[in-house]
Amino acid sequence: MKFSITYIKYLLAISALCLLLKSCIPEPLEVSGLPTLEPKVVVYSQLIPDSLGIAILLTRSIGALDANDDSDINDLINQIALNDATVWVSDGTATDTLQFLGAGVYASIATNFQAGTEYQLYINSETLGIATSTTKALPQINFDSVQAKLFITDFDSLAQVNFSLTDPLGANFYIVNVQPIENLAEGAASFFNPQIYTYLFTDSAFDGSSYSDEFIVPFQDFSPGDSVLVSLTNISPEYYEFLQLRSDNRYNFNDFGTEPINYPSNVAGGYGFFNLHQADVRLFELEE
């Protein structure tokens, strides 16, 4: 199946939002008599690659007894999507009101986010009230080179990623994501289980110099001709910490069943993260 690059970038952004959203679904607990917590706004944001805009997903927080991995996805979306909000982003001089697209997603292509500039997010929900956040847009750092190919063993057909980059001076935090393209077009179920492999690292050992690395994507059976997206993103230290806590201990696969208690957040009056991180996205067809 062939996809246009613009279509892929929009799907990638929405998939990334839903990947974060799934982390708010906790494991069911066999207990009773728990106090009911007041629901709050949960924020997930994603810049669409190549300045195609921003998408923000808003949901309401849920408790450990409200949903689990066996929940019907469409029912869950209807249950937690926050569809009654006014949302805008401002750099202090201009304000961009985002358009509601449905299912808790608000988006805009009007703002050209500038690296180093601080932006404020304002949310006013009729049911959950006001939530705000402030973050700085980070400079995009691109791959110098990147390659994805099949890695054949006696038991598996895996993917191997080799990459290099030039690191600017100062502390930087990185994430490389690998995601099969076919999963992006399989509907809501794939959005909630997109099989993204996450590789996190920092520049603490190579600050201000060139760096190359490689890794294997485990537990996914690839075949010749499969297409994958490989993306590199320069992220904030706070978001790096969030991803570390949320990552599954089993080889860094994103954990879709963790309880998000004690997760860091930069949202006042809510949960989640408001980020302005621009990814360098590459498309590969896997061959040996």
Contacts of 251 (CB under 8 A, 6+ apart): 218, 219
Tell me if domain 5-27+36-136 and domain 143-254 are identical in fold. Answer: yes
**Tens-digit pLDDT string for the chain (288 aa):** 444 555 455 555 555 555 455 444 444 445 455 556 688 999 999 887 766 689 999 999 876 545 555 556 667 777 889 999 999 999 999 999 999 999 899 999 877 889 999 999 999 999 999 999 999 999 999 999 999 999 988 788 899 999 999 999 999 999 999 988 875 554 444 444 457 889 999 999 999 999 999 999 987 889 899 999 999 999 999 999 988 887 754 444 444 333 444 678 999 999 999 999 999 999 999 987
Residue 285 CB partners (closer than 8 Å, separation 6+): 225, 226, 227
Q: Fold for domain 143-254?
A: Immunoglobulin-like (2.60.40)
Q: The pTM is what?
A: 0.78
Provide the residue ranges of all domains of the chain, joining segments of one domain with +.
5-27+36-136, 143-254
Which is the CATH superfamily of the domain at 5-27+36-136?
Expansin, cellulose-binding-like domain (2.60.40.760)
Three-state SS at 22: helix
